Amino acid sequence: MALSHRSRHFELIRYIFEVGTKLNAQHVSIATASCLYHKFFENCNSKNYDHHMIAATCVYLAGKVEEDHFSIKDVINVAYKTLHKESGPLEPGEKYHNLRKSIVHLELLILRVLKFKVSFVDPRKYLLHYVKSLQHWLHPSLTEKVPILQTSWALIQDFLHDPVYLKYKAQHIAIGALYLALQCCGIQVPYNEDAVLTWYETFADDLTKEELWEIVEDIMSVSLMEN
Report whether 163 contacts 41 (CB < 8 A): yes
| 80 lies in the same domain as 19 | yes
Would you state the pLDDT for residue 89? 74
DSSP for 54-88?
HHHHHHHHHHHHTT----HHHHHHHHHHHHSTTS-
What is the structure's pLDDT at 184? 86
Q: Which of 83, 114, 145 is the last residue of a domain?
A: 114
Q: Specify whether 214 is located in the same domain as 174.
A: yes
**Final residue of a domain: which of 114, 136, 158?**
114
Q: 109 and 129: one domain?
A: no
Do 152 and 101 lie in one domain? The reply is no
CATH of the domain at 172: 1.10.472.10
What is the model's pLDDT at position 1? 29
Give the pTM. Answer: 0.90
For residues 95 and 167, membership in a common domain is answered with no
Give yes or no: residues 149 and 40 share one domain.
no
Query: 103 and 128: one domain?
Result: no
Q: Which of 126, 102, 208 is nearest to 174 (CA)?
A: 126
> Within this chain, do residues 88 and 173 fall inside the same structural domain, yes or no?
no
User: What is the rounded end-to-end Cα distance, in angstroms, of the chain?
Assistant: 20
Co-location of 206 and 146 in the same domain: yes
Write down the pLDDT at residue 100: 95
Q: What is the total count of domains within the chain?
A: 2
Residue 58 structural domain = 1-114
Task: Give the per-residue pLDDT at 90.
Answer: 80
Note whether 73 and 181 are same-domain residues. no
pLDDT averaged per 10 residues, the chain (length 227): 69 97 97 97 90 97 94 94 84 89 97 96 93 79 77 95 95 96 80 63 89 95 79
Q: DSSP readout, 150-200?
A: HHHHHHHHHHTTSGGGGGS-HHHHHHHHHHHHHHHTT---TTTTTSSS-HH
Examine the domain organization and report whether 46 and 109 are in the same domain. yes
Query: Of the candidates 59, 80, 114, which is a domain's last residue?
Result: 114
Whether residue 2 is found in the same domain as residue 103:
yes
